[in-house]
Amino acid sequence: MKPEVTLNTTRDVIEAGKAYVMSTYAQLPVVLTGGRGCEVYDMDGNTYLDFVAGIAVNALGYGDEELKAEILKIMEGGLTHCSNLYWSRPAVEAASLIARLSGLEKTFFCNSGAEANEAALKLARKFGSRTGRSRIISMEQSFHGRTYGAVTATGQPKYHAGFSPMVPDIVYARFNSLESVEELIDENTCAVITEPIQGEGGIIPAKEEFLKGLRKLCDDHDLLLIFDEVQCGMGRTGRPFAFQQYQAVPDVMTLAKGLGAGIPIGAMAAGSRAADVLSPGDHASTFGGSLIAAAAASVVLRRLSEGSLLSSVEKTGALLRELLLDLQKEFPVITDVRGMGLMQGIELSCEASPVVKASMEKGLLLVQAGVKVIRFVPPLTVTEGEIMKGAEILRSAFAETVPS
């Protein structure tokens, strides 16, 4: 038998992690243990202002009392999971709130963004199968997750390397180029999938004409329009869903990340053209919409429907953008500032990792989106004071690492 591990220090945890956890991530030498508001703590007693939020997941920050109370209520009832053989109130409530906030009709619950996209790809193929069509158009530079369908839909060759053959009949158009999409549409095409704001691809918002044009192309050619809002949805842009910033409504929308505020849950919501494409037996997920996850989602969705959280995102997002633009004036290595609400990115003319590292050492957690882009996706509850403090730390990290 292997020896029992001791996990009392940062070093213990990292050493045991290297021995026992499969190495699929390039992890930083930090062990996070707790959090409050917009701050997280590590095992060595350091405090960080967190502009990563578990990569756009921890929408309500840390220690939210309502979230805690709702989860405890489910635990006290004893039924943490009941399988989708039966109805449960939390799942129905969460689905009804998604419908209310989005105008879409029905929701399928699963556990992650990749799984939500997998469901959307299957739904698209089922929709197409009625007329013998299977081709799905995705976008270059997109990111949709790591399961086979989702990673095939991901238009970045680096994520495919070593894993071929990929899922057939998924092709890639240029993001923000309607002509490029139009060129790929043929009699075999059944759907188009895109993120309204590309996240992992470098925080690149779609142009309004692009999403509107996609809506028209999909209507003209009887295609399903799928928006992946896994990262940009759930209040991040200042509206419940990013598509509401544009005049383009999808047939299918996928969600995850912020939906459960840290409790894993994914969802695929569908409008009238797609809501009844799947029938019993077509698709399933054992844990999908489990009571705790759905209760957490309902807390976030209720918070979004109340309005004050969204108006705060608008304010803090605008402030963040303004401060990043100020920083750009001071540091010309920042070649672009882009995004919406609390999903902002800065592109540098050099590698971003030294700035991210220096920020962490000064107490600010940041995450990259590619080699040259730093992304800012703090909890939606971040305050203006915290945005100012974060920007100040970032400024000093820039001053230390790049020429002004």
Please report whether residue 110 would count as binding ligand PLP according to CB under 6 A: no
Whichever of 144 and 215 has its CB closer to ligand PLP, that residue is 144
Least distance in angstroms from the C-beta of 389 to ligand PLP: 26
Between 54 and 390, name the residue whose CB sits nearer to ligand PLP: 54
Q: Which CB sits closer to ligand PLP, 319 or 367?
A: 367
- Using rule CB under 6 A, residue 118 touches ligand PLP: no
Told to check if 228 binds ligand PLP by CB under 6 A, we report yes
Q: Identify which of residues 90 and 199 has a Cβ nearer to ligand PLP in the complex.
A: 199
* Closest to ligand PLP by CB, 95 or 153: 153
Q: Which stretch binds ligand PLP (CB under 6 A): 72-80, 177-185, 192-200, 245-253?
A: 192-200
Do residues 132 and 159 lie in contact, with contact meaning Cβ atoms separated by under 8 Å? no
If one asks whether residue 172 binds ligand PLP (CB under 6 A), the answer comes out as no
Stretch that binds ligand PLP, among 14-22, 109-117, 369-377, 382-390 (CB under 6 A): 109-117
**What length is written for the chain?**
404
213 binds ligand PLP (CB under 6 A): no
Phi-psi region of 339 (alpha: psi -120 to 50; beta: other; left: phi over 0): left
C-beta of 98 vs 256, nearer to ligand PLP: 256
Question: Contact between 373 and ligand PLP (CB under 6 A)?
Answer: no
Specify burial of residue 18 (Cβ count, 10 A radius: 0-12, 13-18, 19+): exposed
Is residue 251 close enough to count as binding ligand PLP by CB under 6 A?
no
Q: Pick the binder of ligand PLP from 39, 50, 200, 386 (CB under 6 A).
A: 200
Rule CB under 6 A: choose which of 13, 60, 114, 234 binds ligand PLP: 114
Q: Which of 334, 312, 317 is nearest to 325 (CA)?
A: 334
Q: Residue 141 Cβ, how far from ligand PLP at the closest point, in Å? A: 11
E strands along 264-358, which residues? 266-270, 334-340, 343-348
Residue 112 binds ligand PLP (CB under 6 A): yes
By CB under 6 A, residue 145 contacts ligand PLP: yes
Nearer to ligand PLP, 173 or 333 (CB): 173
The sign of the dihedral angle between the CA atoms of 94, 38, 376, 112 is negative
Residue 139's φ and ψ, nearest 5 degrees, are -115, 145
Out of 74, 173, 230, 320, name the contact with ligand PLP by CB under 6 A.
230
Count of beta carbons in the 10 Å neighbourhood of residue 327: 17
Least distance in angstroms from the C-beta of 259 to ligand PLP = 10
* Cis peptide bond upstream of 29, omega within 30: no
Candidate segments 37-45, 101-109, 139-147, 183-191, binder of ligand PLP by CB under 6 A: 139-147
Alpha carbons 266 and 255: distance in angstroms, whole number: 5
Min CB(228)–ligand PLP separation in Å = 5
Q: Is 143 in the site for ligand PLP (CB under 6 A)?
A: yes
DSSP code of residue 243: G
Site for ligand PLP contains 141 (CB under 6 A): no
Amino acid at position 123, single letter = L
Q: What residues contact 187, with CB distance under 8 A and at least 6 apart?
A: 133
Nearest-approach distance from CB 198 to ligand PLP, in angstroms = 8
Stretch that binds ligand PLP, among 95-103, 125-133, 137-145, 368-376 (CB under 6 A): 137-145
Of the candidate spans 77-85, 95-103, 108-116, 269-277, the one that interacts with ligand PLP by CB under 6 A turns out to be 108-116
Count of CB atoms situated within 10 Å of the CB of 42: 15
Chain contacts with ligand PLP (rule: CB under 6 A): 112-114, 117, 143-145, 195, 199-200, 228, 230-231, 256
